[in-house]
Amino acid sequence: MAIDIKRTFIGREVGNKPVDPNTTFNAGMVGEFNSLGNIVVSDGTAPCGILKWNKTSTFYGVSVDESQVTNTDGVTATNLNSANVTNVRVRSLAGGLGTLFVSGTDYTLNATNGTITRLSAGAIASGATVFVTYTYQLTASQIASGVNAPGNVGLNFNLNTDDTQGSGKITLIQGLSTVYTDQYDTSRTYNMNDKLYVLSGGLFTNAVLGAAFPEFGRVISIPSASDPYLGVEGVFYLA
């Protein structure tokens, strides 16, 4: 749900861009203009900048290389630290190393409860420690308290989650900028200098999506357990 502003260098920020009233987004997602000239979440084909603030009632954070011990019986579920998870990646080693385990073959996932269950017939050894990376939905108490470290900011000064309320406008980060964001596809493994693209839904990814999806930045910092932000550098504007 956040940009790490302290490490972010903004080359150009334009704060008067009108927002489509029906769109929602977390700070750090990528936006684009719709046919009316209003900002919506990018579908990846015409990204125009990184959204600096929030317009949402649902915030998402990331957990990177969360260490979890799997079961010995092939039946008992392992609880992740968070529920309501998406874009889950399970590996045998931290840092994007080791074996990438396959959902449905090596383990099963209950995304709502936030659990993984080792399958006896899969490649995860009995009682093995695995490293899980995922996106999760923040709870109401986490949003209200703002204590869910690192970097989540909770409610704004109006005790609201919509930073466009009143003005109906948003600040776009554009130009040559360096941004640290947790709005990226956590199912992917990132490496330094990877080219980045934008998924439908405004998330950064290093998956090559096709000719209709332009490159939109490169990786300058890899997410880790101690620093879950993806460092992105680029010229963030496409005509």
**Could you give the CA distance from residue 180 to residue 96 in angstroms, rounded to a whole number?**
19
**DSSP string covering 204-232, please?**
EE-S---TTS----EEEE---SS--PEEE
The reply to whether 165 and 115 lie within a common domain is no
User: Is the pLDDT assigned to residue 151 strictly greater than 50?
Assistant: no
The reply to whether 113 and 144 lie within a common domain is no
Domain count, the chain: 2
The reply to whether 3 and 49 lie within a common domain is yes
The pTM is what?
0.89
The pair of three-digit structure tokens given for residue 108, joined into one six-digit string: 């099963």
Mean pLDDT, rounded, of the chain: 91
Q: Which helix (H) or strand (E) holds 143?
A: helix 140-145
The reply to whether 13 and 29 lie within a common domain is yes
The reply to whether 54 and 163 lie within a common domain is yes
The reply to whether 144 and 239 lie within a common domain is yes
The reply to whether 51 and 68 lie within a common domain is no
Residue 169's SS3 state is: strand
User: Is the pLDDT assigned to residue 148 strictly greater than 80?
Assistant: no
pLDDT value of position 149 = 45
The reply to whether 228 and 144 lie within a common domain is yes
pLDDT value of position 152 = 46
The reply to whether 39 and 92 lie within a common domain is no
The pair of three-digit structure tokens given for residue 81, joined into one six-digit string: 């630290």
The reply to whether 92 and 50 lie within a common domain is no
pLDDT value of position 48 = 95
Expressed as residue numbers, the domain containing 128 is 63-137
User: Is the pLDDT assigned to residue 155 strictly greater than 60?
Assistant: no
Among the candidates 120, 137, 154, a domain finishes at 137
**pLDDT category, 237, cuts 50, 70, 90?**
confident
The reply to whether 44 and 33 lie within a common domain is yes
**DSSP string covering 6-58, please?**
TT-B-SEEEEEEEB-TT--B-TT-EEEE-TTS-EEE--SSS--EEE-S-B-S-
pLDDT value of position 83 = 96
**pLDDT category, 161, cuts 50, 70, 90?**
confident
The reply to whether 153 and 43 lie within a common domain is yes
Task: State the CB neighbour count (10 A cutoff) for residue 158.
Answer: 10
Among the candidates 137, 163, 192, a domain finishes at 137
The pair of three-digit structure tokens given for residue 92, joined into one six-digit string: 């045998």
**Could you give the CA distance from residue 230 to residue 98 in angstroms, rounded to a whole number?**
21
- What average pLDDT does the segment 62-81 reach? 96
pLDDT digits (tens, 9 = 90+) for 173-184: 999 999 999 999
pLDDT digits (tens, 9 = 90+) for 82-137: 999 999 999 999 999 999 999 999 999 999 999 999 999 999 999 999 999 999 99
pLDDT value of position 145 = 59
Higher pLDDT among residues 165 and 11, named by residue: 11
CA–CA distances in Å: residue 63 to residues 21, 30, 86, 90, 155? 30, 20, 11, 12, 21
- What average pLDDT does the segment 39-66 reach? 93
Among the candidates 121, 137, 153, a domain finishes at 137
User: Is the pLDDT assigned to residue 153 strictly greater than 80?
Assistant: no
